[in-house]
Chains A and B, each alone.
Chain A
Amino acid sequence: MLEMLFTSQFWFDVSKIIIIDLLLSGDNAVVIALACRNLPEAQRRKGIMYGVSGAIGLRVVLTFFAVGLLSLPYLKLVGALLLLWIGIKLILPEEGVHGENSIKAEAHLWGAIKTIIVADFVMSLDNVLGVAAVAKDNVWLLVFGLLVSIPMIAWSSQLVLKLIDRYPLIIYAGGALLGYVAGEMVLGETLVKPLAEAHHYLHWLVPGLSAVFVLLTGLWLAMRKAVVAKAVNLVDERVTISTDNNS
């Protein structure tokens, strides 16, 4: 186990996992904080604690489940396609929908926890798949990926937003990385493996091409959308006299 610490491949994989975790787990923290907002003060902490531990437990199960599934024939190809899609979606700007939705706010503890777990299940799939793809069969990398994603489940996602605002290139790098990983996954498929062994150049050509594919498709779709999300006005109030009751 120790000798792998000295290979550049290992550190390369570690940085890939960190980037994937960083870019794909922000939303979970927000859901946990918001789902517990409507709880009475005393239950809020409990809700957050149960929510976070449930989310972590779920992620551990999902990760090992994903690895198991990916070892089945053909499923690596499906996984690779999903990763391509996740990469493209990352590059696309979000539509600034701001309007009432029909979801009801949960005002009791179990309702809030249910929301957190269901949301985490849906929102961590991309992350789990990405990490499983990078780790391949290396259990240490898998565990590392999980460990890195845990603080991100609990932290605020403001940091990621700020990072992206400052360095917009991160998004494109992330998209390209997911494409690259998808390419690697295709090569790991048992059907393709003999071919990849015979032609060694495929080891950089396929991931490279699929990274470029994600970048170009993402950029092209983003250009077609080309809407800058406007800031939403939320509160607007005039305070006229200082001695007024301030609200």
Chain B
Amino acid sequence: MKILIPVDGSANAQRAVEHVIEYVAVLKEIPQLLLLNVQWNVAGGNVKLFINQKTIDDYYREQGLAALKAARAALESAALPYHYHISVGTPAEAIAQYSVEQGVSQIVMGRQGQGGLQTLLLGSVVNKVLHLASCPVLLVK
């Protein structure tokens, strides 16, 4: 069994991680845990004319690792093995794509990501994931 937890570094995402830690404790067999952070593809074609790919990738890596930090720390202090992944693209699409590639059995995510006004205006990644995913999605409040 594989559980995918998409993480954006927000408190809501962290709650999803904590939920999984609790949930895993009662299972007979520890599932494979996958953490995923998606970076927006901010460096479009024009940017690539001036900035080398390595610099761009380093930037994504740095941002991605920062977003994953809290989630990784939580899993490590619970002594759970996991896999972490950073991809670049549109969050909802990338989450759905990765879940298919990995043959994930469940996605667990916070009910909303970086909340507040932005969510109100921009809608959430969650809605789109619910739409795109082909496996069960568990939303943690």
Within 8 A of B (CB), among A129-157: 156-157
Of A75-83, A93-101, A217-225, the stretch lying at the interface with chain B is A93-101
Contact of A242 (CB < 8 Å), options: B39, B42, B76, B93: B76
| Proximity bits, A63-91, B CB within 8 Å = 1, else 0 | 00000000000000000000000000000
Judge whether A239 and B81 touch: CB under 8 Å: yes
Contact of A105 (CB < 8 Å), options: B52, B84, B90: B52
The smallest C-beta distance from B80 to any residue of chain A, in angstroms, reads 7
**Smallest CB gap from A118: residue in B:** B50
Complex Cα distance, B58 from A38, in Å, reads 10
Within 8 A of A (CB), among B81-126: 81-90, 93-94, 97-98, 118, 121-123
**Smallest CB gap from A232: residue in B:** B88
Contact of A231 (CB < 8 Å), options: B55, B89, B122, B123: B89
Give the interface residue-count category, chain B.
Answer: 35 or more
Within 8 A of B (CB), among A142-186: 156-158, 161-163, 165-166
Chain A residues with CB under 8 A of B56: 34
Chain A residues with CB under 8 A of B89: 229-232
Chain B residues with CB under 8 A of A233: 85, 87, 98
B28 an interface residue at 8 Å Cβ cutoff?
A: no
Complex Cα distance, B72 from A238, in Å, reads 11
B66 an interface residue at 8 Å Cβ cutoff?
A: no
Chain B residues with CB under 8 A of A237: 83-85
Chain B residues with CB under 8 A of A38: 55
Complex Cα distance, B94 from A165, in Å, reads 13
| Proximity bits, A88-120, B CB within 8 Å = 1, else 0 | 000000111111111111000000000100110
3 nearest A-B pairs in the assembled complex, by CB-CB distance: A231-B89, A231-B94, A119-B50
Q: Which residues on A are within 8 Å of B, measured CB to CB?
A: 26-27, 30-31, 33-35, 37-38, 94-105, 115, 118-119, 122-123, 156-158, 161-163, 165-166, 228-243, 246
